[in-house]
Structure 1
């Protein structure tokens, strides 16, 4: 897997490089510090599987440049990782075909899961927008980070998100404590997170009231 990270801040590039390293054992990262460098890599024939870019970098002159990039590399997914917090600007960017708009304040575990979702063909919209992401095929349902869970695991995750303990989950679902622990472990593994708190955060960020 080859990922292009375009951001003029070294700490952001370093953080994202570390993060995408968890997407694939063989991931290779190319870094660009300006939009001119992005164009240079593409003009040179570089091939990428994913592009993650900032909206505020030298050489990037507004949404027209973003639209040109999205069209040029299609169907390679382009993800915007930005400090921009204007809902109107987020919507405008997503309307160009950008597959995900990730605010830089997003938890790193959620960022990783969003990138996995995008690579699987899905899209992500910040909860602040409260709408579905624009897509060329509105009828197609985008994959979800929860698609890999069984119905029972979704039930367990729903109750985890409500703050119930393993004992309380067992009583609610008619399961013994050992079985509940097994389901919780399966949920964490399927979501790629290391704790119940991170799993619950994914549910909260998804904006979904219930998973089942």
Structure 2
């Protein structure tokens, strides 16, 4: 039986190495895996069902703000995700929490905080720094709308946001063009969007550079 495993997803090799060092020192009973892009996160989770927690950077290649968090939570709801980010504005921390993260570790945090956060989440709890930002009803509504999408629909939505046509999406995801059309219709209906452009704008709002 495979060992329980922790996945560190960050595109900065030095920071990834530092986090892995903390995990191997404090959680020796766990194996560790690493990923440097949103696509690798997805393929790693597919190949390793023994992963019990993901430490996830928000700004990896292929990620649009909170898109990878939402994708992992949608496809693997049983795996908790802890965001690890250099942007620790209260608004970002609150959005991570509302979009389903089990914890948030600022990249400036000491090793003790990383270990405490991982331990708390592995124990079924959560770990967030103190926050001043209020809960956002708009974010809560956005999270609820996106939660209606299947993992495949979410992938199609991200392709729409990249400006891809149905034919290109079909090629990108290995689907029949007609299947993509069905998905697009369902996505627009679930998100209450009138056009692909409106859906793309909605994805844009997931990006984590907003501080207001």
The structure with more helix, counted as a fraction of residues = 2
TM-score, normalized by length of structure 2? 0.57
Aligned mates of 2:82, 2:117 — CA distance in 1: 10
Aligned mates of 2:77, 2:43 — CA distance in 1: 17
For 2:71, which of 61, 68, 71 is the aligned residue?
68
5+ residue gaps, structure 1, are 133-212
Deviation at 1:73, TM superposition (A): 1.6
The 8 Å contact of residues 38 and 61 in structure 2, kept in 1 or not, is answered as yes
Relative to structure 1, the CA distance from residue 2 to residue 91 in structure 2 (aligned partners, 3 Å threshold; closer, same or farther) is same
Aligned mates of 2:88, 2:72 — CA distance in 1: 22
| Rg (Cα) greater in structure | 1
Aligned to 1:8: 11
Question: Deviations along 1:56-97, whole A, 9 cap, x unmatched?
Answer: 110112323321211222221100011012211211111011
For 1:26, which of 22, 29, 33 is the aligned residue?
29
Aligned mates of 2:17, 2:48 — CA distance in 1: 24
Aligned mates of 1:27, 1:44 — CA distance in 2: 17
The correspondence of residues 46-85 of structure 1 with structure 2, limited to 5 A, is 46-85=49-88
RMSD value over aligned CA atoms?
1.9
TM-score, normalized by length of structure 1? 0.57
Aligned to 2:104: 101
5+ residue gaps, structure 2, are 136-212
Q: How many residues align?
A: 132
